[in-house]
Structure 1
Amino acid sequence: MNLLGAWQKVASRNLFSLFSGKTVLVVDDSDMNNSVVKAILERYGMKVLVAQNGAEALSQFTESKPFSIGVVLMDIAMPIMDGFEAAKRIRNLDRAD
């Protein structure tokens, strides 16, 4: 492994450690993508919630306690409600987080 590769490995571990113990909402209409991302994030100590589309993501975020979801990873092209619309609605919620 070269120096750059070693640095990238250390940097990615440090980045993931920042989110260890946090809850991540993963939003994708692909079950395969959700499963892969969930497995990776859980490996680094994150709690993972999964939604199949923007409407489900909005519902889960709205029903969650403020600041309980630390990160939202969302696909853009999804049925029912796309990622752009869901992100806009989440950001417009009357919440401190």
Structure 2
Amino acid sequence: MVEDNPINQQVSKLMLGKLNYEVTLAENGQHAIDILAVAPAGRFHLILMDCQMPIMDGFDATRAIRAGQAGSKHQQLTIIALTANAMDEDKQQCLACGMDDYLAKPIQLQTLKDKLEQY
């Protein structure tokens, strides 16, 4: 999970824990790329990516992952956007940069469960 807000980090980690998922936290897009670059293939199955973060936002991080900057072994990882912006244009921006799907904040446990089961 890539999220810069400490409260959102804790809430998301609790929700994912309730769903029996193991979570690795990155505090911004660059941190996520750094983690992926040293991780073996198959270590991660999905990325929940906040869109608005300092240092490197989720859009730039997604483009970098898709371009292979985190290693070619991770280029096809499923990336689901997490954003407070719930307009259709926001969803289109997420998909246009290479994200696979989109969840609007605040995220509800059942919505998160359904989305993760989809992938």
Q: Please say whether Structure 1 and Structure 2 have the same fold, judged by a TM-score greater than 0.5.
A: yes
2:8 maps to amino acid:
N
Q: Which runs of 4+ in 1 moved over 6 A?
A: none
1:76 corresponds to 2:54: no
Q: Name whichever structure is richer in helix by fraction.
A: 1
Match of 2:32 in 1: 57
- Structure 1 residue 45 displacement after superposition: 1.0
Q: Deviations over 1:41-97 (max 9, x none)?
A: 111111000111000011111111112101100111110001011111112212265
The count of residues paired between Structure 1 and Structure 2 equals 72
- Give a deviation string over 1:5-38, Cα, whole Å, max 9, x none: xxxxxxxxxxxxxxxxxxxxx1111011011101
Partner of 2:10: 35
Unaligned runs of 5+ in 1: 1-25
Query: SS at 1:88's partner residue?
Result: helix
Aligned-residue sequence identity (percent) comes to 33
- Higher Rg: 1
Amino acid at match of 1:49: T
CA distance in 2: counterparts of 1:42 and 1:65, whole angstroms: 23
Root mean square deviation of aligned Cα:
1.2
